[in-house]
Structure 1
């Protein structure tokens, strides 16, 4: 089995910090996208949960498309919110992306190491 790594050289995090992990890894038709936050060019985009969710999901979709996957290939999403009160607003944005192809999902509340409201990772599958 071949393993492909996307962005294996690592990205840039807040303050120019080098991130020592791949954006995504593909093996056997599966793609795992690393957790995405509402960052652009290595900096968190300030805003409410709707804006931050949109950016985090857009970041996931951009990485998926780079690897040749689309939203209908998403099988599971993990979500971390920093406040349970964000849940309903997050769900509204989530439904705009996945309404036609809802994946399995877990959503939890926890602190994040980046000062933002949400982090999202996705798992995709595309058979031969």
Structure 2
């Protein structure tokens, strides 16, 4: 099996010793994206809606770097610092998955990097 790194400047650079994504065989595993503006490396201003929109834009950029779209995402995990944000995040998230939504887990966590409110990691299928 061939393993290769997925990387793009259109999504935030890794802020630690990890890759934005890894393709292993027919699957692509993506590290969690937080609401960082890829141009500045700063957290986007605004509330949970602005943060969720930025995370989804970062996801789209990372997927595109692998030649994929949201339609090929098969599993996601959403991390929220407050489950009261679930409905707002769900609406934004759901707008990206038109056909078959992926399997998903959503969990509340005590804290996330850089004090953000949301992080999403995912797996996509790159096979035929």
* Structure 2 gap segments, 5+ residues each: none
Residues 14-93 of structure 1: matches in 2 within 5 Å?
19-40=16-37, 41-93=40-92
- Report the 3-state secondary structure (helix = DSSP H, G, I; strand = E; otherwise coil) of the residue aligned with 2:100: coil
- Report the 3-state secondary structure (helix = DSSP H, G, I; strand = E; otherwise coil) of the residue aligned with 1:114: helix
| Cα-Cα RMSD | 1.7
CA distance in 2, matches of 1:119, 1:57: 10
CA distance in 1, matches of 2:74, 2:67: 15
CA distance in 2, matches of 1:83, 1:39: 19
Per-residue CA shift, 1:2-61, capped at 9, x if unaligned?
1011239x9354xxxxx2211000011100111000001311112111110010011011
1:100 is displaced (CA, Å) by: 2.1
- The aligned residue for residue 13 of structure 2 is 11
CA distance in 1, matches of 2:73, 2:81: 23
Higher mean alpha-carbon deviation, 72-81 vs 43-52, is at 43-52
Task: Give the TM-score normalised by the residue count of structure 2.
Answer: 0.88
- The aligned residue for residue 125 of structure 1 is 125
Whether the aligned pair in 2 keeps the contact of 1:24 and 1:31 (CA below 8 Å) is yes
1:114 is displaced (CA, Å) by: 2.0
Structure 1 segments (4+ residues) deviating >4 Å: none
